[in-house]
Chains A and B, each alone.
Chain A
């Protein structure tokens, strides 16, 4: 079956703009999580959605937001982009609660460059 699909793969945006990233989870998976990967901070958790509800949120400013649709697809939005938002944004899907030993499957990521 198809894996986790993230679009677009690459983006270049200007400071102050906003951007929307998309993630389509594996069919049947209801949980989608987002992570930011940078050389300086490593992998940091942004938020997690399950059945259209945000269940968990990391320590990011309010400029970072997300949502999940009824088909489990998720979008992440970053407003008023800053140079420091340049990163690889990874999406992970799972069938349920990771604490119950379900596996998280990651997409290839969206590489965002802010200039």
Chain B
């Protein structure tokens, strides 16, 4: 079936460090892929998305590229800030519903 696998957290980084959060998916066809972010006490916010192979989604310094060959959609940021501390969810679309990974908590320290 369709599923999303994310790296376990928490990921702990110092401010200005490089971030990678791995995400791989299993799906029939080529679903749209998403990264959502959840700040403490909040709902989910769409961070970025990609709708077809080789698309690169980007927002707020975060990037992710839809890799069909490796069925991956890894999230990257060149220099994280304390304000990026949150839980990040990778997701795909299946029959008009979102299927989420388990989430990866990112903690950034000054």
The tally of CB-CB contacts under 8 A between chains A and B is 54
- Is the CB–CB distance between A43 and B100 below 8 Å? yes
A-side contacts of B97, CB under 8 Å: 33, 45, 48, 56, 58, 98
- Is the CB–CB distance between B89 and A43 below 8 Å? yes
A98 CB, min distance to chain B CBs, angstroms = 5
- Is the CB–CB distance between B96 and A106 below 8 Å? no
B44 contacts A by Cβ under 8 Å: yes
Q: Pick 24 A–B contacts, CB within 8 A, sort by A.
A: A33-B97, A33-B98, A35-B98, A42-B101, A42-B103, A43-B89, A43-B100, A43-B103, A45-B99, A55-B96, A56-B95, A56-B97, A97-B96, A98-B32, A98-B93, A98-B96, A99-B96, A101-B49, A103-B46, A104-B98, A105-B46, A108-B41, A108-B43, A109-B43
